[in-house]
Amino acid sequence: MDSACRAEDFLEGRALLINKPYSWSSFDVVNKIRIQFKKYLGIKKIKVGHAGTLDPLASGLLIICTGKATKTIDQLMGMDKEYVAHITFGASTPSYDLETEPDQHFEAEHITTEGIQQALKGFQGIQMQAPPVFSAIKKDGQRAYEQARKGKIPELEKREVEFKELELLHYEAPTAVVRGVCSKGTYIRSFAHDMGIALNSGAHLSALERTAIGPLKITEAMSMEQFEKLLPTIQTI
């Protein structure tokens, strides 16, 4: 996006690449952008949506669609995603990430670089994956995470996912940094949890960045600060 575009362009339809900040929900980004359109461009009503949720405890590429471009959201959501995941061994959490405190501890001294690389081979390709109970999936008319926070553990059906690429970037005990390219609907938190089991230990996701969606890269994305600074330079309605 550059200052050569006009306010009307957003109504017609734009896809914005945003580097979502850590701790922000995807809806936080959508809502902030909608407010900024009103403040800087005088657009009082506009459709704004995101093409694929990114958890608050993750950062990285988020596609924001505006105006008529929101009709392409389903198509964009179907593209493969690339992530860089930090998987910490030796402890598991109910949410499979840092949203909840560790509830079980395990031995992890036996885990080696070679062992991790071998385990990754077992996750390559198509498989059935169980979603985290702390997820937005609806079960009996209620979000799974809402039930989990009340102490009720919902039974969620496994889903078919595919890891097309998996690469160990670095391992310094107890944390492995893994790059993965996967299909729509894949939960990296579940992958981290399952990696712990595969290595006869426990694990949780300690950090996550989405680095690509299809051909779109995080290097092309703007921070929220950059987006806000650019808006006042755009021709208003």
Q: Which residues are catalytic?
A: 55
Is there a contact between 10 and 46 (Cβ–Cβ < 8 Å)?
yes
DSSP 79-144: S-EEEEEEEEESEE-TTSSTTS---EE---TT--HHHHHHHHHTTSEEEEEPPPSSSS-EETTEEH
Distance CA(221)–CA(224), nearest Å, equals 10
DSSP label at residue 235: B
Q: In sequence order, what are the residues at sequence separation of 6 or more whose Cβ sits closer than 8 angstroms to the Cβ of residue 87?
A: 175, 176, 177, 178, 192, 195, 196, 203, 204, 205, 206
| Token duo for residue 182 | 């996967």
If you search the block for the tokens 């929900």, which residue do you land on?
25
